[in-house]
Structure formats: C-alpha cells, structure tokens
C-alpha cells in the first residue's frame, strides 16, 4: 500500500484545469482525473486537501457517538421533546461527512467536483435547518415564545435552507438545463465570474445563518429585563457565535494563504482553519442546546408550542427530500449534457478524455 501511495503525484496550479484552482494555493493538487482508489489513497499522503478531509472525517464519528448516545441511552424516539435534538445531531453527522466525501472524490473529474460539492451544500443547508429546529424548541427567549414570529419560524427556516442550496449550487453551475448549447458548455459562473461566484456562495451561507439566528441574537445581545432567558447557557451560545463569525471570515477572506501564496498549501490554509472552527462552533452549539433543553424543559413544556412530528422530524425529512430534488436538477445536465474536452497540460501523465465533463 505504501508503494502505491508513493506513486501518486501532486501537481502545481498551472498543471490542473482552472475548475480545480484554489485561491492562493500553488501546489499540492491531485490529478484532475483521479480514480476512486487514488482519491482514497491520497488520504494517507500530504496534499492540499488531506487536512481538509481529516478535519471533518474524525469529528463525524464524535457526533455520531453523540447521536447514538441520545438514541440508545436516552431513548429519544419515545419522547417527542427530544426529537429536535435528534434532527440536529443527525445534521451534525451529515454535514462533516458530506464535506469530507466531497473533498475526497472531487478530483475524479470536473463533473464529479461540481456534483460532490452540490451534496456538500445540501448537507450544510440541512444543518442550518437542524439548528433552527432546536432553536425553536429549546432556545427561543421567553419573551418570544408563542409569538407570531415563533409560529412562523420553522416554515421560514425551511425556506431559508432551500434558498441556501439553490444559491450555492447556482454559484457553480448557473441555471440548470440552460448551460449548454449544441455541443459545448456555454457558461459556468464559477469559471467566468469567480469573484461573483464566491460572493454568491458566501451570501448563500450567511443569509440563512443570520436569519435563522435572529432569536438567539435577540436573546444574547438585545433582550433586557424579564423574560430574556439570561442564564449560564448564554456563554456557550456566545462561543458558538464567535466561532461562526470566525468561520465565515476565514471562508470569505482566504487568509492566511492570500498574504503568502504557496506558503500554506499543505498545512494552515484558510479552508483547514475554516473546518476546525466550524466543528468547534458546532460542538459549543450542541452543548448550549443540550443545556437549554435540560434546564428549561419544565417551563417550555408548559408555555411553549408543542413539539410535533411536523415541526421537527417531518420538517427535516421535507428539507432533505427537496434538497435532493434540487441537487438532482443541477446534476442532470452534468451527467447527461454535452461535454467539452479539457486542454492537455504539459506534465499531465494521462491523455485528455472526451468524457471528463465540463471544464474551465
């Protein structure tokens, strides 16, 4: 196995198609038409994606352990009050797993890269909804419980999650089924307008986060007086908010590698730090949600909206199904549409294939 790993080559930014380029990352790229085996073997050698994968793969098992603990020990399925926590923990397992799979297999082709990250975006939007479902059940400040906003909150956040998926997929492909003329790719926003694509993707992630967290922001920053749910859990919420802001900052700015292109290709670039901060933020978020759930349970059972299948598990299933529909709509043109041939790179050991998918 070690001998096979040594055979895997890494390339510079000038040796791979534009669609695989990462801002300010100069070297460490895997072959743009790697086999599935090559992708898996690359996990055990240092490339510019290796730590991106492991920083989400290992935490997946931590959140899975938490989910299993809740299901087996707390017997969550027997108590509707814990259903929102189940949805949240499931989303905490899915989004890092989808991310590490996307980073692992995204170099099989340009076509595969787009589809892999479509699933990554769908998983992130499901995580945003999972957070919202628990906020509605456990985190809303006393003043807003049973308000009109509280009653509309879950439908709004479901819509936000779907908008997040659509915008993030659009940032890569544009409008599905409108990208192809008779024999070639007409336009890909990520390649033709990379800055616009980046801004759109940042907005796609920031938009649902900011709107879904309105009750939490109000609780920890704005609410004063009686009914503001000012307890020890607010400190954990503040840790989560701070790490979420740092995560967004790293994703948007590409620091520190933008300050010294090529110096952080393998270790320390923004996407690795982005992954670490997002996992830490999710950890503190989970702790805060669990603490609110336990300490506020008697009051919430008496005063808050009843937790139903529709407002918890049902909303999660609905979001997953519609996200899959969106992903399929964006993936079909890539799977069955006309393709363009990639340009041959001087040091590319393989000949270009006519079935490599869209290129930039």
CATH number at residue 225: 1.20.1070
Tell me what pLDDT residue 33 has: 95
pLDDT (average), residues 2-11 = 67
Q: DSSP label at 144?
A: G
Distance CA 94, CA 356 (A): 28
Tell me what pLDDT residue 4 has: 46
φ/ψ of residue 260, rounded to 5: -145, 75
Instruction: Give, in order, the Cα–Cα distances in Å from 56 to each of 34, 40, 49, 302, 323.
Output: 21, 15, 11, 39, 21
Contact between residue 32 and residue 15 where contact means Cβ atoms under 8 Å apart: no
Coil, helix or strand at residue 185: strand
User: Is 181 exposed, middle or buried (CB count within 10 Å of its CB: 0-12, 13-18, 19+)?
Assistant: exposed
In a domain? residue 117: yes
Average pLDDT, the chain: 88
Whether residue 348 is predicted with pLDDT greater than 60 in this model: the reply is: no
What are 270-329's pLDDT values in tens digits?
999 999 999 999 999 999 999 999 999 999 999 999 999 999 999 999 999 999 999 999
In a domain? residue 355: no
Least confident span in 130-134, 140-144, 178-182, 225-229: 178-182
Tell me what pLDDT residue 353 has: 39
Closest by Cα among 25, 5, 7 to 16: 25
Tell me what pLDDT residue 191 has: 64
What are 47-88's pLDDT values in tens digits?
999 999 999 999 999 999 999 998 877 777 788 999 999 999
User: CB neighbours of 42 closer than 8 A, spacing ≥ 6?
Assistant: 8, 30, 34, 49, 50, 104, 107
In a domain? residue 234: yes
Tell me what pLDDT residue 177 has: 56
In a domain? residue 235: yes
Tell me what pLDDT residue 183 has: 38
Closest by Cα among 108, 124, 214, 113 to 166: 124
* CA-angle at 33, arms to 185 and 20, nearest 5°: 60
| Residue 100 confidence class, pLDDT cut points 50, 70, 90 | very high
pLDDT (average), residues 16-26 = 93
Q: Could you give the residue ranges of the DSSP H alpha helices within the chain?
A: 2-7, 36-41, 50-72, 83-105, 110-134, 148-173, 189-192, 194-212, 214-217, 233-253, 270-303, 315-336
In a domain? residue 246: yes
The DSSP secondary structure of 271-302, one letter per residue, reads HHHHHHHHHHHHHHHHHHHHHHHHHHHHHHHH
Distance CA 263, CA 113 (A): 25
Contact between residue 126 and residue 316 where contact means Cβ atoms under 8 Å apart: yes
In a domain? residue 356: no
Number of domains within the chain: 1
Tell me what pLDDT residue 359 has: 52
Length of the chain: 360
pLDDT (average), residues 135-152 = 96
User: Which residue range is the domain that position 220 belongs to?
Assistant: 2-76+83-336
In a domain? residue 72: yes
| Residue 188 confidence class, pLDDT cut points 50, 70, 90 | low
User: CB neighbours of 147 closer than 8 A, spacing ≥ 6?
Assistant: none
In a domain? residue 358: no
Q: DSSP label at 80?
A: G
Tell me what pLDDT residue 173 has: 81
Tell me what pLDDT residue 79 has: 87
């Amino acid at each position: 196995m070690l001998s096979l790993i040594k055979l895997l080559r890494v390339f510079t930014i000038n040796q791979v198609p534009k669609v695989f380029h990462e801002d300010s990352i100069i070297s460490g790229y895997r072959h743009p038409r790697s086999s599935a085996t090559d992708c898996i073997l690359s996990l055990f050698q240092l490339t510019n994606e290796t730590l991106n994968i492991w920083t989400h793969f290992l935490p997946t098992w931590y959140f899975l352990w938490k989910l299993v603990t809740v299901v087996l020990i707390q017997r969550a399925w027997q108590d509707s009050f814990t259903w929102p926590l189940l949805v949240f923990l499931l989303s905490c397992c899915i989004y890092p797993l989808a991310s590490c799979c996307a980073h692992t297999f995204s170099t099989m082709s340009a076509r595969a890269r787009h589809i892999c990250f479509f699933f990554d975006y769908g998983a992130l939007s499901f995580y945003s909804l999972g957070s919202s479902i628990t906020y509605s059940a456990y985190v809303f400040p006393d003043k807003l419980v049973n308000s009109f906003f509280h009653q509309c909150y879950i439908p709004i956040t479901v819509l936000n999650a779907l908008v997040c998926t659509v915008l993030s997929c659009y940032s890569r492909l544009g409008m599905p089924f409108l990208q192809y003329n008779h024999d070639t790719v007409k336009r890909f926003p990520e390649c033709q307008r990379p800055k616009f694509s980046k801004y759109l993707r940042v907005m796609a992630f920031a938009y649902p986060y900011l709107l879904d967290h309105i009750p939490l922001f109000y609780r920890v920053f704005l609410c004063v007086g009686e009914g503001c749910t000012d307890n020890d859990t607010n400190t954990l919420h503040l840790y989560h908010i701070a790490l979420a802001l740092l995560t967004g900052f790293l994703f948007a700015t590409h620091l520190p590698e933008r300050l010294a292109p090529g110096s952080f290709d393998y270790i320390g670039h923004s996407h690795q730090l982005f992954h670490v901060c997002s996992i830490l933020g999710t950890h503190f978020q989970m702790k805060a949600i669990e603490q609110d759930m336990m300490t506020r349970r008697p009051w919430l059972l008496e005063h808050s909206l009843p937790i139903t299948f529709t407002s918890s598990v049902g909303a999660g299933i609905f979001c997953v199904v519609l996200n899959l529909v969106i992903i399929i709509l964006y993936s079909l043109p890539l799977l069955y549409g006309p393709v363009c041939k990639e340009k041959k790179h001087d040091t590319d050991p393989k000949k270009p294939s006519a079935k490599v998918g869209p290129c930039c």
